[in-house]
Structure 1
Amino acid sequence: IGHHFNLSIDLNACTGCGACVIACHSENNVPVVGKDEVRKFRDMHWLRIDRYYSAGDTFVEEQEKLNNLGAFETYDVIENPSYDNPQVAFQPVMCQHCNHAPCETVCPVAATSHGRQGQNQMIYNRCVGTRYCANNCPYKVRRFNWFNYAQNEEFDYHMNNDLGRMVLNPDVVVRSRGVMEKCSMCIQMTQKTILDAKRDGRPVKDGEFRTACSAACDTGAIVFGDINDQESKVSKLQKDDRTYRMMESLGTKPNVMYQAKITNTAEA
């Protein structure tokens, strides 16, 4: 059958520390574009952390008041302890590597296609920058290169001089302007693992497959593995009662799954 890769993210364990975001930048030569570009919605993170805040029942009541506000009435938040200390849920969001990917069908040059191992792959030298894929992606995880971020004096974030460029990962291409880019599920790491095992003449053991984000996660919230291996950790997590996929109703069939966050706020 071969390998089929899946990512599993436990929202109970995620603390929103951002280590996965930094690891992703470092592993995949993702440029740092600076705050002025981010203000123009030109951020380049392949992996973002969404934050969801809630403040219990009072939050719902306040929302009701806000919805029923009169034309000339003003709104101010009632002082309430739950607003001072809201609950927060962190959700890392990367390319979901959909098995029925909306981005693949709209690309006029087939620059994005589905690999046999489950990854949604980008072929950068085919991409002509139509950005149809970004418009069609329901998860908003694709990034467009507006400029040459490397060797460009306008963006001096250590990709200009020889010393800074020595830090770049030689296994990952540095993208040029005018192309779309996104999470690759660290295909260079998975291929190295497969080739190392092949050279040693042995099967790949569970836990050997890793991505930059899963390797960097301190709490073990991100688990990466082969779903076709029935004994793998990621395969067992798929059968967990808490498991769901983001925006499942769209029928995109993502290869990234989440374990729902459960909070018990009742008194013991």
Structure 2
Amino acid sequence: MPARATGRTAGATALLLLLLTAAAALAVLVLGSASAPVSAAEPTAAVALPHAPGDPTPAPGPEGPNGPRGPQGTTTSDSGVTIDMGGLTEKPSNSVVLLITLTLLSLAPSILLTCTSFTKILVVLGLTRNALGLQQTPPNQVLAGLALFLSLFIMTPTLSAINDAGLQPYMDGDKTAQQAWDDGLAPLRDFMLKQTDDDEITLLTNVAKREQPATRDDVPMTTLIPAFILSELKDAFIIGFIIFIPFLVIDIVVSGALMALGMMMMPPVMVSLPFKLLLFVLVDGWALIIKALVESYAT
């Protein structure tokens, strides 16, 4: 029994020594890997240290506008680091151009109705159709299409000036967004001011309880746009009144003739319509109306 106990004690002691040896070896391996130098494949961050007077002067790198140029297009200097974007900020990016295009497309109907000649032309064409006594001829789509292309024809010089003064310089990076907006808006303001009466500007200024602008150039856009629309509607109704007069005379003559003949049940419109169409075609009415509308914007 004492011999067996002694053997077991020796075996346990040997196992304990083996475990301690394995633990010591593992600790040596861990400490060695932690203190090993960084390999050349692993990049290290360079830390800029102050240059001592006695240290040798470092080799200069490529010079930038503010000092030695570092990697990745950066320019270092004593006061800090500047980044050379390589002209990325000189022109608007494709995403900005796409955003501007979508915005203009969404606002195009409102701009067309409020800042161009479209409203006046469409109202005059509609009044002409009513003066003829026609309800759906020409259709609304035809009148709207004719008004649209006449508006583009009239607004072409203004649109070209906006493109040359604001849009193209901004796309080329020659102007900022604010400068392009101000310069591009100037031709449109000039067009609207020429077609707007002083009475409408005074009316809207008084309604808003603001001070009267010293000159027409000082009128804000929030006042100019509704004043322009009112002036366009007034001019359209004046033209429509002039168009109505000859057709009204024809209706009166036809109604009197039917009353004299005792034809009480005959609708005067049915009799006067052919005569009105004949008169309109003989004088080339559409050409006269379009010519008058285009010439009203010539000044």
Tell which structure's C-alpha radius of gyration is larger: 2
Structure number with greater CO (CA < 8 Å, separation at least 6) is 1
Q: What TM-score, normalized to structure 1?
A: 0.23
Q: Which has the higher strand share?
A: 1
Instruction: Judging by fraction of residues, say which structure has more helix.
Output: 2
